[in-house]
């Protein structure tokens, strides 16, 4: 992403933030300006707000500090960006570096679970069995670790900005517990590639097939589930069918193709985070009864292979957009970056400290077939030029769903003439009104990306289903869900 300053800087015809400007500031520039003037050169808002001052300083030779002055061409490119009204643009896909054959001793290599040899599976099994055998009160035991995510401790970090860093830290915490089992110090957690065409057979073998929450588990609230509680899954065939019906692979591809990070509820620019969370939520529901229930999902051993893959996808996207460092990641953000410095419950780690993962590597990063990154939006600033592709997709948003009234994970379906054309799951606890994170965002959207031909000229409607209410009928009254509204938009791209 970064282009060192020098006399050979080429003239850039249409410089943008993502394609050029974010890469012209060195780490020394960013550190100096943050310390001296509290200007964050890693962010679009920081540079845009102070662009004129930056240009004056660089053109007079006073900046950057301690480094070579900008070339005349670099000054011209930056001025062009200002005169063009600060276009954001899109990133150029970075080439994912091949994984080193000989990794540094402190780097953990996580592999596709299907690539493990028999000795590796045996060692992994030993590690899982060791963690599962520990007392429920042991902080490095399976029960205590899984209970962080669901009952009884219920640290929910979904549909909010720290979703990716929180789960990344959580996965590494579990991996550390596996490595604490004597003889398993070199174990790394494998990933299940959710876009593959099969569910790895090893995940149906003990100890990876099930876990039982023991009777008398500490702090586990009575009434929700009779203990002992054994985790349950759908059949492999049903899991694959569900993943296809939700379009999880398409959502992953959309996320990997996004140039900006965005946010779950971002309107009009969802970026990476919204489709990756959609894919995550729908994949959870696809796996079956336990994984679709946030209260107990992490007790199913498949959860850890499943979530290792989401962290791989996050790192894959970071690599594609040049966001594997903190400053590189911040350059992909819109607006607020303060959330990066907040502590991740229940730990003292911050998102800023977790975004960069120098000690973790994967045997293969994902690209999703990405050839060009994009940022498709429902609306755009009036100073921008924009295009509407001939095959433009339509964004249909079900807006202001009051999830506080919905008991657990729910499914929103988009219907055309009474027939389902798209569905999306929303992963949440059974009592969202008692969840601190959920209560901060009580009204949530669900967006569908559909072809214009699927909706044009058809009678459209939406329905909400709640799997936990199957015995009472799955359909949930829309009025009870806050009578959500519908918005439909063609998706635009900055020209």
Distance CA(319)–CA(96), nearest Å, equals 6
Under the banding of pLDDT at 50, 70 and 90, the label for residue 101 is: very low
Q: Which residue has the higher pLDDT, 50 or 33?
A: 50
Measured CA to CA, the distance from residue 308 to residue 325 in angstroms comes to 20
Question: What does the block give as tokens for 156?
Answer: 């929910």
**Which of 416, 419, 426 shows the shortest CA–CA distance to 446?**
426
Q: Of the given ranges (42-46, 89-93, 113-117), which has the lowest mean pLDDT?
A: 89-93
Q: Nearest-CA neighbor of 482 among 365, 400, 360?
A: 400
Flag whether pLDDT at 378 surpasses 80. Answer: no
What distance in Å separates the CA atoms of residue 365 and residue 311, rounded to the nearest whole number? 10
Q: What is the DSSP letter of 421?
A: E
pLDDT of 337 over the 80 cut = yes
Nearest alpha-carbon partner for 310 in 454, 149, 438, 448: 149
Least-confidence region, from 94-98, 171-175, 415-419: 94-98
Instruction: List 97's β-bridge partners, or say none.
Output: none
DSSP 369: T
Is 382 a residue whose pLDDT tops 80? Answer: no
Please state the pTM of the whole predicted model. 0.93
363 upstream amide cis, omega within 30 of 0: no
Structure tokens at 56: 């004056």
User: Could you give the residue ranges of the DSSP H alpha helices within 324-465?
Assistant: 326-330, 351-355, 436-440, 452-455
Enter the tokens of residue 338. 């303060």
**CATH number for the domain formed by residue range(s) 108-362:** 1.10.1280.10
Give 63's pLDDT tier (boundaries 50, 70, 90). low
Mean pLDDT of 337-359: 91
Q: What average pLDDT does the segment 2-12 reach?
A: 66
The domains of the chain are located at 21-83, 108-362, 376-494
Q: What pLDDT was estimated at residue 473?
A: 63
CA distances from 136 to 59, 143, 296, 346 (A): 64, 5, 15, 18
Q: Report the length, in residues, of the chain.
A: 495
The model's pLDDT over 391-414, given as tens digits with 9 standing for 90+, comes to: 677 889 999 999 999 999 999 999
Is 100 a residue whose pLDDT tops 60?
Answer: no
223 vs 483, which has greater pLDDT? 483
Task: Please state, in angstroms and rounded to a whole number, the distance separating the CA atoms of residues 425 and 300.
Answer: 19
**Phi-psi bin for 5: left (phi > 0), alpha (psi -120 to 50), beta?**
beta
Give CA–CA dist 161/490, Å, rounded.
26
Q: What value does the mean pLDDT take over residues 466-472? A: 73
CA-to-CA distance for 69 and 60, rounded, in angstroms? 9
Q: How confident is the model at residue 64 (pLDDT cuts 50, 70, 90)?
A: low
Q: Which residue has the higher pLDDT, 353 or 94?
A: 353
Q: What is the CATH number of domain 376-494?
A: 2.60.120
Mean per-residue pLDDT, 234-249? 97
35 phi, psi to nearest 5 deg: -75, -40
Q: Inform me whether the pLDDT recorded for 380 exceeds 90.
A: no
pLDDT at site 27:
86
In the block, residue with structure tokens 């679009």: 44
Show the beta-strand stretches assigned E in 167-282.
Answer: 212-213, 229-230
Categorise residue 413: left if φ over 0, alpha if ψ from -120 to 50, beta otherwise.
Answer: beta
Number of Cβ within 10 Å of residue 219's Cβ equals 12
Instruction: Look at 472 and 75; give whichever has higher pLDDT.
Output: 75
Let me know: does 373 contact 321? Beta carbons within 8 Å: yes
pLDDT level of residue 274 (50, 70, 90 thresholds): very high
- CATH topology agreement for domains 108-362 and 376-494: no
The tokens describing 155, both together, are: 């640290």
pLDDT at position 223, please?
79
Over range 477-492, report the average pLDDT.
90
Taking CA atoms, 128 is separated from 266, 304, 332, in Å, by 39, 11, 37
* Residue 423: pLDDT over 50: yes
Ranges assigned E (strand) in 262-314? none
């Amino acid at each position: 992403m970064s282009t060192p300053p020098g006399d050979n800087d080429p003239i850039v015809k249409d410089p943008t933030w993502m394609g050029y400007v974010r890469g012209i500031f060195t780490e020394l520039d960013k550190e100096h300006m943050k310390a001296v003037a509290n200007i964050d050169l890693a962010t679009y808002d920081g540079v845009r707000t102070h662009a004129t001052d930056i240009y004056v300083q660089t053109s007079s030779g006073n900046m950057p500090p301690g480094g070579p002055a900008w070339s005349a061409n670099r000054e011209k490119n930056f001025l062009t960006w200002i005169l063009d009204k600060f276009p954001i643009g899109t990133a150029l896909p970075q080439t994912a570096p091949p994984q080193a054959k000989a990794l540094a001793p402190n780097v953990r290599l996580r592999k596709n679970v299907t690539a493990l040899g028999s000795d590796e599976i045996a060692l992994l099994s030993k590690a899982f069995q060791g963690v599962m055998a520990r007392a429920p009160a042991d902080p490095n035991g399976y029960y205590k670790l899984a209970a962080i995510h669901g009952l009884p401790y219920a640290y929910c970090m979904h549909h909010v900005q720290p979703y990716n860093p929180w789960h990344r830290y959580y996965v590494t915490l579990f991996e550390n517990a596996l490595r604490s089992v004597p003889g398993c110090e070199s174990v790394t957690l494998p990933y299940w590639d959710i876009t593959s065409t099969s569910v790895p057979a090893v995940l149906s073998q003990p100890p990876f097939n099930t876990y039982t929450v023991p009777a008398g588990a500490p702090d586990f609230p009575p009434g929700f589930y009779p203990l002992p509680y054994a985790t349950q899954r759908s059949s492999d065939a049903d899991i694959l069918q569900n993943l296809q019906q939700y379009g999880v692979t398409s959502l992953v591809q959309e996320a990997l193709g996004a140039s900006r990070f965005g946010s779950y509820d971002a309107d009009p620019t969802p970026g990476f985070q919204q489709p990756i969370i959609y894919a995550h939520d729908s994949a959870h529901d696809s796996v079956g009864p336990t994984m679709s229930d946030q209260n107990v999902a992490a007790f199913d051993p498949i959860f850890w292979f499943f979530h290792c893959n989401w962290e791989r996808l996050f790192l894959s996207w970071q690599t594609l957009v040049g966001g594997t460092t903190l400053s590189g990641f911040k350059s992909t953000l819109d607006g607020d970056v303060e959330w990066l410095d907040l502590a991740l419950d229940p730990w003292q780690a911050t998102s800023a400290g977790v975004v960069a993962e120098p000690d973790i590597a994967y045997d293969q990063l994902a690209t999703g077939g990405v050839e060009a990154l994009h940022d498709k939006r429902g609306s755009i600033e009036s100073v921008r030029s924009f295009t509407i592709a001939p095959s433009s997709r339509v964004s249909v948003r079900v807006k202001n769903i009051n999830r506080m009234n919905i008991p657990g994970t729910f499914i929103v379906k988009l219907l055309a003439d009474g027939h389902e054309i798209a569905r999306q799951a929303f992963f949440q606890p059974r009592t969202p009104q008692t969840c601190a994170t959920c209560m901060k965002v009580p009204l949530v959207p669900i967006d569908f990306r559909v072809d214009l031909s699927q909706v044009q000229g058809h009678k459209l409607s939406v329905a909400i289903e709640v799997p936990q209410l199957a015995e009472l009928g799955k359909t949930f009254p829309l009025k009870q869900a806050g009578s959500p509204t519908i918005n439909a938009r063609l998706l635009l791209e900055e020209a």
